[in-house]
């Protein structure tokens, strides 16, 4: 699969836009930890309460899930809605920004799955070359 970057959407080769590159790096740093993409993908089908989200994800601590949700809320990807009942019910959902972000996340996930064998082969070839030197 060959893909091209649309003109004006990313700094082109030979053109260094430090501000754009820095901004891209900042956003990628915010979402590239172990849990963020999994939380976004899990919320894709619709809103979930905290414990349901924790069960759906599996091996994540309450502390880490709470921290990840706070970061996603801070950056505008997730909304948190509290229903004032006893005990209070808290529901998490993707915002419009989060739903928009889900599209490239799923495309990246599909690309990764489709190309993981090629990446593994390249890594093995490289390590073999290093060992032979």
Over the stretch 69-126, which tens digit does the pLDDT of each residue have? 999 999 999 999 999 999 899 999 999 999 999 999 899 889 999 999 999 999 999 9
Q: How many CB atoms lie within 10 A of CB 103?
A: 9
Q: Which CA distances in Å does 29 have to 5, 24, 38, 71, 83?
A: 21, 9, 15, 12, 32
Residue 11's pLDDT band, with cuts at 50, 70 and 90, is: low
What is the fold of 18-132?
Arc Repressor Mutant, subunit A (1.10.10)
Q: Given this model, what pLDDT does residue 18 score?
A: 85
Cβ contact 36:72 at 8 Å: yes
CA distances from 109 to 38, 60, 83, 118 (A): 11, 20, 34, 15
Tell me, what's the pLDDT at 7?
A: 52
pLDDT surpassing 70 at residue 12: no
- Long-range interactions of 118-127: CB distance < 8 A, separation 24+: none
Q: Is the pLDDT of residue 1 over 50?
A: no
Per-residue pLDDT averaged across 45-68, rounded? 97
* Mean pLDDT rounded to a whole number for the chain: 89
Token representation of residue 10: 């990313």
Record the pTM: 0.77
What lies within 8 Å, CB to CB, of 79 at 6+ separation is 73, 92, 93, 94, 95
In the 8-state DSSP scheme, what is residue 31? H
Q: Does residue 49 or residue 25 have the better pLDDT?
A: 49
Q: What is the band of 2 on the pLDDT scale with cuts at 50, 70, 90?
A: very low
């Amino acid at each position: 699969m060959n893909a091209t970057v649309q003109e004006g959407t990313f700094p082109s080769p030979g053109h260094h836009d430090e501000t754009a590159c820095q901004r891209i790096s900042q956003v990628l740093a915010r979402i590239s930890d172990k849990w963020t993409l999994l939380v976004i993908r899990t919320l894709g089908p619709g809103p979930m309460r905290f414990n349901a989200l924790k069960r759906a994800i599996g091996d994540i601590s309450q502390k880490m899930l709470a921290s990840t949700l706070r970061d996603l809320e801070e950056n505008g990807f997730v909304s948190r809605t509290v229903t004032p009942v006893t005990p209070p019910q808290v529901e998490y959902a993707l915002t419009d920004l989060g739903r928009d972000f889900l599209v490239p996340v799923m495309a990246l996930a599909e690309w990764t799955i489709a190309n993981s064998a090629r990446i593994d082969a390249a890594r093995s070839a490289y390590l073999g070359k290093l060992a032979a030197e």
